[in-house]
A and B are shown apart, each in its own frame.
Chain A
Amino acid sequence: MSRLGSIGVRLYRGEIGYDFVAKRKFWYAVSILITITAIVGLAVRGLNMGIEFKGGAVFSTPAKSNASVSVAQESAQESSGHHAIVQELGNGSLRIQVSELDTAQATKVQKQLSTDLNIPVDKIDAELVGPSWGEQIANKAWTGLGVFMILVVIYLAIAFEWRMAIAALIALIHDLTITVGVYALVGFEVTPGTVIGLLTILGYSLYDTVVVFDGLKEGAVGVTKQSRNTYSEIANRSLNGTLVRSINTTIVALLPVAGLLFIGGGFLGAGMLNDISLSLFVGLAAGAYSSIFIATPLVADLKEREPQMKALRKRVLAKRAAALSKGESVDEDDDPSHGDDPQTPHNHDGPLDAAPVVAGGPSSPSSPVVGQRGRGRGRSSGRRR
């Protein structure tokens, strides 16, 4: 734990750090690859839609009913004329799924099962679903998705700025695509529960992103008033500074969901708990990844297009060049290279010189961050008079 703590400290101070922003092309590529895989999976395999979307019925017999799987299967198939899937759950109850029935036919199957299995009709739980029910849920989900995205972009544009809103939106779409793709590739069943989970990811994926952006916004205060670091470098430091926070919030959010998924689902074999938690689990993990590797670099990319940021970049590079020619040590801890510069980024995980440099880590709000601290000049926290 203390090791982890010390990593946190060093991250915070900028002694160590990963250059997320400079390596963004790599992570973009990774994400694009995953997204393409997801889309291909969707196109080729399609989603395994649950009975709620095709119409059909799920019957469950009571626990310890000692009903035989084969009898149940035969009975259901004969009375419905459709294929039936029968699973035996941990508690000795059967779960019988018959797809493509309408609700009236489903009742017939229920009665037949009751006769064949010797279980009173009222003891057989049934979930009968008409074919348009799932469609309705899905339509509403799409509506919700659209409305939410519009609202959230507006809100984030007000709370932060439009660039961040755009980046957050892209990250969000990325999370959803990945989650849906995983469903397609693994062949998990899509149920209304899945849809609920997916829609919840919306809020949650953004939660992570907002936490990161908040640090970013703070770190970038007064960024144009200095000429020590480019915006991208500052963004990267903020990101590293809040890394522990992001990781912790993600873990803490995932823990209960994991509990639901592996334990709650384990008790019942299958059902709503599992459906919701599975999509949440995948989506949350994707959300944590995208808030760090995708959203922030995207913001940096967009910001670097601003004229004042371009000017800043020029100043910083000029200063560094001047310093180099004077033979002074370079005031940087990160590779200054950027996408726009045709330089290959060096691959080092943090500064090799031990000078702790902190730009834009969370610091006192009364003093704007000014480049680097620790060299006896302008310690932001020490400047309060």
Chain B
Amino acid sequence: MAAPNRGRRPAGAQGKPVRTLVMILIAMVALTGGMFVSGHTTPRLGIDLAGGTTITLKAEAEPGKESAVNETNMNTAVGIIERRVNGLGVSEAEVQTQGRENIIVNIPKGTDSEQARKQVGTTAQLYFRPVLTAAAGGVTPQQPAPTPSASSSASSKDKATDGKKDPASPAASVAPSATAQGRAVTEGLKAPATTSPSPTASGKAADPSQPPAPATTPGQTPETSGLDKEFAALNCMDEKSRANAGKDAKPENPMVACGSNDGGKTWEKYLLGPAELDGKDVDDAKGQMDQQRGIWIVTMDFTKGGAKKFQKITTKLSAQQSPQNQFAIVLDGEVVSAPQVNTVLSASAEISGSFKQQEAQDLGNILSYGALPLSFEEQSVTTVSAALGGEQLKAGLIAGAIGLALVIIYLVAYYRGLSAIAILSLFVSAGLTYSLMALLGPAIGFALNLPAVCGAIVAIGITADSFIVYFERVRDEIREGRTLRPAVERAWPRARRTILVSDFVSFLAAAVLFVVTVGKVQGFAFTLGLTTLLDVVVVFFFTKPLMTLMAQTKFFGGGHPWSGLDPKRLGAKPPLRRSRRTSAPTEPKEA
């Protein structure tokens, strides 16, 4: 064993107690200040404490497609579910993956949990529908005057107009110009291995006054004419009406829908015929680089039945004029892509347009997995009213306060004056934990839930244990007959090692728990890990320097009977000859 004063020393933990203490106090003030500056003075509460609904979903891969449960698909699913839930008008909902196969949906209080569950639990629907009419996303005036104008920006939020009311003012009446049409029209759908890129961009304004050419079975005109009004009134610029646009459309009926080709910056609206194919007809699809042309495309392969249907529909569509030669891919009532059909296709097709890599891959994903790339099973649904949540929080806090009080009482009883150092350290630890939790809310989305409160309470014990290990070491040294100052310094390196090893084990447990678990357990593990780390910080940078300072006081250094370091009480041996080599701490600047 190396002599302690030759051991590795953390900077500042020895020798400069005052500076170290000042440093940690500055850190505390900074954290607290950060709390107030950012306006997050309380930790974000989880659903079980604040009230709300938590839904846990587990991904179920279809037999033979086990590899489908992967990160990409999970993220796609999260995106889809998020869109649905937030379509309810809940903006606060959180959807996140947890672990490899779970998605957790947190819906804060004040939402209809029943409706939310319906949204979340069902698998998304993917249909292929012929486009009857397309127009820019705003409200179309009843008197059609298709004048090309500048495209309205999506940020200009129009007043929501339902399909029932007549639009008050033709505010954003935009007849689509070729540019405003975006990619919907410039996408071409054709058989693969044709090299001539021939998507023709034609942005002819849809004329709502003319009944659209019946692209499908006759006999649906009355229905579509009913939809015409709806189509004209539909305002795709508005989030709410957008979400409701294609909500309850049955596949066998025509529908109106919105779609965006630039990730939601501008929107188009479509009047669509009945569904001709659905997601199940697609066997496989992926976004890939077309080496010859150097652009991103999406390739689709259809199943046997799908190929037949697809051939039939493309035969019909390829003979039409734009926009009736377009083919809308509708996901959950929203048009994700509307490529034109240029030739008759059957078993496979490729969609080309001005895709970015991400877009092509997303579309490929959506197509190949029939929308939600996976089916999900509802694992658990927890609904907590705010009242119960508040009660649980209160109970947890009371239990924590009592636990803390018990620990303090025990420490005072056993360690007398020394306990002051332990108690101060505990409070520093608590302060740091609290401010970090408050700041981690906005930073990484940490939410304090009941198990996390439990973790924090349990951590009181772990933190106090470190002090005990150190104090006992110091007392052992005093029993050896040392005076306090050398005892404090000599005890430190060995206490330090014990603390580090045991805290590392605790941290390892927390880290493993955090990685392998989901939901509630994760909150607990996170808190435990955080407090373990803070324990090390506090012991090194607060308790130890404080101890060094205290050792210089008369009360402790002189071994006052109430100091908890009374050599007589500790049964110390008669003092040793003072040697020159004791590693007494350097005197602090101020006396």
Contact = CB atoms under 8 A, between A and B. Distances in A.
A361 B477 CA distance: 11
A126 B400 contact: no
Most chain A beta carbons < 10 A, residue from B58, B380, B473 = B380
Contacts of B475: 8
A196 interface: yes
A127 B380 contact: yes
A382 B473 CA distance: 18
List 6 A-B pairs, minimum CB-CB distance, nearest first: A264-B399, A203-B509, A256-B403, A253-B461, A259-B403, A9-B571
A130 B377 contact: yes
A126 B1 contact: no
A126 B581 CA distance: 68
Interface string A197-236: 0011011101100110010001001000000000000000
Interface in B359-383: 377-383
A246 B73 CA distance: 50
B276 interface: no
B469 A260 contact: no
A123 B389 CA distance: 12
Interface in A109-156: 121-123, 125-130, 132-133, 136-137, 140-141, 143-144, 147-148, 151-152, 155-156
A254 B407 CA distance: 9
Interface string B39-59: 000000000100000001010
10 contacts: A144-B515, A151-B512, A196-B521, A199-B521, A248-B468, A251-B410, A263-B402, A271-B450, A272-B454, A276-B458
Nearest to A131: B379
A277 B400 CA distance: 12
B506 interface: yes
B493 interface: yes
Contacts of B571: 6, 9-10, 12-13
Contacts, number: 284
A202 B506 CA distance: 8
What size tier do the contact residues of chain B reach? 35 or more
Interface string B379-422: 11111110110011011101110111011001101100000000
A133 B379 CA distance: 5
A280 interface: yes
Given A5-B569, A144-B517, A361-B476, A256 B508 contact: no
Contact of A273 (B381, B454, B480): B454
Interface in B480-498: 480-482, 490, 493-494, 497-498
Interface string B499-543: 001101111111011011111110010001000000000000000
Interface in B217-259: none
Given A147-B512, A249-B468, A365-B490, 7 more contacts: A122-B385, A127-B381, A136-B58, A210-B502, A218-B1, A362-B476, A381-B576
Interface string B140-166: 000000000000000000000000000
Nearest to A277: B454
Contact of B388 (A60, A155, A195, A241): A60
A50 B464 CA distance: 33
A6 to B, nearest CB: 6
Contacts of A49: none
A159 B451 CA distance: 31
A104 B81 CA distance: 19
A85 interface: no
B248 to A, nearest CB: 21
A267 interface: yes
The CB with the most chain B CB atoms within 10 A, among A1, A152, A200, is that of A200
B391 A252 contact: no
A136 B395 contact: no
A269 B479 CA distance: 48
B488 to A, nearest CB: 14
A132 B381 contact: no
Contacts of A147: 512, 515-516
A385 to B, nearest CB: 8
Contacts of A210: 498, 501-502, 505
B118 to A, nearest CB: 10
Contact of A255 (B377, B387, B407, B498): B407
**Chain A interface: which size bin?**
35 or more
Contacts of A221: 1
Contact of A13 (B384, B410, B479): B479
Interface string B248-274: 000000000000000000000000000
Contacts of B469: 211, 245, 249
B380 A130 contact: yes
A322 interface: no
Contacts of A249: 465, 468-469
Contacts of A129: 379-381
Nearest to B504: A155
B407 A203 contact: no
B399 A132 contact: no
B149 to A, nearest CB: 47
B24 interface: no
Contact of A143 (B403, B457, B516, B528): B516
A365 B1 contact: yes
A144 B381 CA distance: 24
A4 to B, nearest CB: 7
Contacts of A193: 451, 520
A52 interface: yes
Given A9-B479, A252-B411, A264-B398, A272 B450 contact: yes
B22 interface: no
A127 B382 contact: yes
Nearest to A62: B387
Contact of B581 (A140, A192, A384): A384
Contact of B4 (A130, A206, A242, A365): A365
A192 B379 contact: no
Contacts of B388: 60, 62, 93, 125
Max chain A C-beta neighbours (<10 A), residue from B377, B406, B458: B458
B58 A364 contact: no
Contacts of A87: none
Contacts of B507: 203
A158 to B, nearest CB: 10
Contacts of A69: none
Nearest to A107: B114
A156 B509 CA distance: 13
A137 B517 contact: yes
Interface in B1-35: 1-4
Contacts of A8: 475
B586 interface: no
Contacts of A10: 571
Contacts of B457: 256-257, 259-260, 264
Nearest to A51: B380
Given A6-B571, A267-B395, A256 B505 contact: no
A362 B576 contact: no
A196 B383 contact: no
Contact of B398 (A13, A137, A263): A263
A211 B490 contact: no
Interface in A20-68: 52, 60, 62-63
B214 interface: no
Contacts of B468: 245, 248-249, 252
Interface string A138-181: 00110110011001100110010000000000000000000000
B210 interface: no
Interface in B532-580: 569-571, 576-577, 579
A148 B511 CA distance: 9
Contacts of B480: 363-364, 381
Contact of B406 (A214, A259, A280, A364): A259
B281 to A, nearest CB: 29
A129 B520 CA distance: 14
B379 A258 contact: no
Nearest to A242: B472
A2 interface: yes
A244 interface: yes
